Amino acid sequence: MEERRITLHGHEVTYRTAGDAEPVVVLVHGITGSSATWVDVMPALAEHYTVVAPDLLGHGQSAKPMGDYSLGAHASGVRDLLGALGHERATVVGHSLGGGVAMQMAYQFPERCERLVLVSSGGLGRDVHLLLRAATLPGSEFVLPLITAARIASLGDAVGGLLARIGLRAGPDLEEMWRGFSSLSDVDSRAAFVHTLRTIVDPAGQRVSALDRLYLAEAMPMLLIWGARDPIIPVAHGEAATEAAPGSRLVVFDGVRHFPHRERPGRFLEEVIGFIESTDPADVSEDRWRALLRFGAAGVSPVT
C-alpha cells in the first residue's frame, strides 16, 4: 500500500493506493480517522481493483488549512483527487463521516459514482454518541487540549501495552477510537475536527440527513454494512436508510461495534467484493437524473 502525496488547490493531500485493475474503489475514512483505518482490507481489495484511500483534508497526514470542512467540500476533494489521478469513476466506500461524504459525492457528482457502500454511516438519522454532541458545544475547542494532552495519550499507550502483556486485547474498535482521540493532541487537527463536526452535528444530534434524498439511490447500487452493537451511530439508521433507498441492501455484523472493516475484515471483504461483482455500475444519464428529481420525490416511479 504505497503512500503518496499530491498538491490540490495549494494543499497537500496524502493518500494510499494499490492495485491496477478496474473498477476503481475509493475508501473514505471517518472523523478523526485516516486512510490507515483500511490497512486490514486494502491489500485484498487491490488484488481485484485499483484502490485509492485518501486522508481527507484536516485528517491524517493531509494538510489542515483554515477552510471549508463541509460534506460538500470533502466530496469535491475526493472527486478532484480521483480526477488528478486519472480516474473518471469509482465505487465509493465510506465509513461514518466518510459515508456522509460518499452520499454527498453521489448526489453532487452522480456521473462519477458507480456504486455506494456505506459502513456505519453518518447522515442517516438524528442519534449520535453523546461525546460527539458534547464536542460541538461552545467552548469545546478550549477543553479538547486538556483531554488530549500528550501525557494523556502516553498513558493510553501504556495501558494498551499493559493489557497486551497480561494477554488481554482491547480490540480494533477501541484501538481506532483511541488513535483518533490521540490525533487531536495537534492544534490544527483539533481545529479541523471541531469545524468538521459542527457542520454535521449539534448538541441535539446529527443535523444533516440524506434520508429525504435516498430515493435517488434507485439509480445506483447501494450496500450498507453495520455493526449490531454500534455505540456511535445505531444500526436503526441503516434499517431506515434501507427502507428509503429502493434496491439497497443492509448487512448487519453480529457482535460488532463501529468499525466492521476492522473487527471482521474477512466478512467485510466478502460482502464488498460480492456486491461489486454482482452489480452493474450505475450509468446515470441527465434524463434519468432529471426524471428522478421530478417524479421520485413524489413517490411516483419515473418511466424509463
Tens digit of each residue's pLDDT (9 = 90 or more) over 191-243: 888 888 888 888 888 888 888 888 877 778 999 999 999 989 999 999 999 99
First CA to last CA distance, the chain: 42
**Please, what CATH class does the domain formed by 2-129+207-298 belong to?**
alpha beta
CA-to-CA distance for 256 and 170, rounded, in angstroms? 13
- pLDDT for 183: 67
Q: List the grid coordinates of 116.
A: 455506494
Write the DSSP symbol of residue 249. E
Q: By CB neighbour count within 10 A (0-12 exposed, 13-18 middle, 19+ buried), where does 196 fall?
A: buried
Indicate the SS3 state at residue 161.
helix
| pLDDT digits 0-9 by tens, 32-59 | 899 999 999 999 999 999 999 999 999 9
Q: List the grid coordinates of 25.
A: 474503489
Give the orientation angle of helix 71-84 with respect to helix 97-108, to 10 degrees: 70
pLDDT confidence of 298, banded at 50, 70, 90? low
CA-to-CA distance for 24 and 22, rounded, in angstroms? 5
Active centre residues (catalytic): 96, 230, 258
Are 236 and 125 a contacting pair, CB within 8 Å?
yes
**In this model, does residue 181 exceed pLDDT 70?**
no
Residue ranges per structural domain of the chain: 2-129+207-298, 131-201
| pLDDT digits 0-9 by tens, 113-163 | 999 999 999 989 998 887 787 777 776 655 555 445 544 445 445 445 544
Are 241 and 214 a contacting pair, CB within 8 Å?
yes
| Percent of the chain whose pLDDT exceeds 70 | 82
Are 6 and 81 a contacting pair, CB within 8 Å?
yes
| pLDDT digits 0-9 by tens, 88-120 | 999 999 999 999 999 999 989 988 999 999 999
The residue with cell 445506483 is 220
In Å, what is the CA distance from 136 to each residue of 67, 200, 202, 268?
18, 10, 6, 32
CA-to-CA distance for 86 and 46, rounded, in angstroms? 17
